[in-house]
Amino acid sequence: MSRRERAENELVSIKNDLERLVLERTTELEMRNKDLEKALATNNELVREVYHRVKNNLQIIISLINMQKNGDMWCSNDDFCLDMQRRIVSISLVHELLFSSEYLESLSSKKLLELMADRIGELMSYGSTVIEIAPDSLDVQLRLNIAMPIGMILSELLSNSLRYAHNEGVTSLISIRITKDGDWMVLSVSDDGIDYPDDFKPDESVSLGLHLVMALTEQIHGHMKFYNKNGANSELYFSTV
């Protein structure tokens, strides 16, 4: 056998060995990927089940509060019970959206605004007040650590507008939107009702709702703006990064 033939045979042998090793490695990786996909699917199902159970448990609490409102001394203050229900509803809605989300760890801001406007508006129907999602509102993905505080802040701002913005005999409009301002996302709640008082200082307010708004805003490293322009306006500046 010539030197050239020996070299060619060695190359063929090396090629066959490489193909065998690649096939073995590919088969091993495919098996690992299947195991990972199975584990991920199981984990996703467990997470969905947790979200589902939390949402159901919160619904039970809401129902119990609603039952206790009827004549119980502990719940004789309707606003107190209503605020408790509303705050629990806002937490429940975030879990509801996460449960139905494709990614499980984030949710659509558009769906959050729509659900919150619908449920809070239904729970706190004050006169003829309309809550609308502004046409220019953006739809961004909100991670759980951002979505929960934003949902609760939105609940407080909507509650404030529903309570104080409406005028008897006049249809009031509350508009909510998410827009972008430089590096910040901005959640805006505006109404065409009564202005904030000239001496309004949210940091000095005795309102539990405003205390929650300011505390949750600090938690997500954002900041709030309150001002009057054709009614009361509230803006939450936050980052999704």
For the stretch 50-108, pLDDT in tens is 666 666 666 666 766 666 555 555 555 567 778 888 898 888 898 888 878 777 788 99
pLDDT of residue 29: 80
Q: In what order do the strands lie in the sheet with 223-228?
A: 129-133, 172-181, 184-191, 232-238, 223-228
Better-scored residue on pLDDT, 42 or 241: 241
For the stretch 110-127, pLDDT in tens is 999 999 999 998 888 766
Banded pLDDT at 15 (limits 50, 70, 90) = confident
pLDDT > 60? residue 157? yes
Asked if CATH classification 3.40.570.10 holds for the domain at 3-238, the reply, yes or no, is no
Which segments of the chain does DSSP mark as H helices, in order? Answer: 3-68, 78-100, 109-123, 144-164, 208-219
pLDDT > 80? residue 5? no
Domain boundaries, the chain: 3-238
pLDDT > 90? residue 2? no
Cβ pair 75, 81 in contact under 8 A: yes
Map tokens 């500046």 to a residue.
237
pLDDT > 60? residue 162? yes
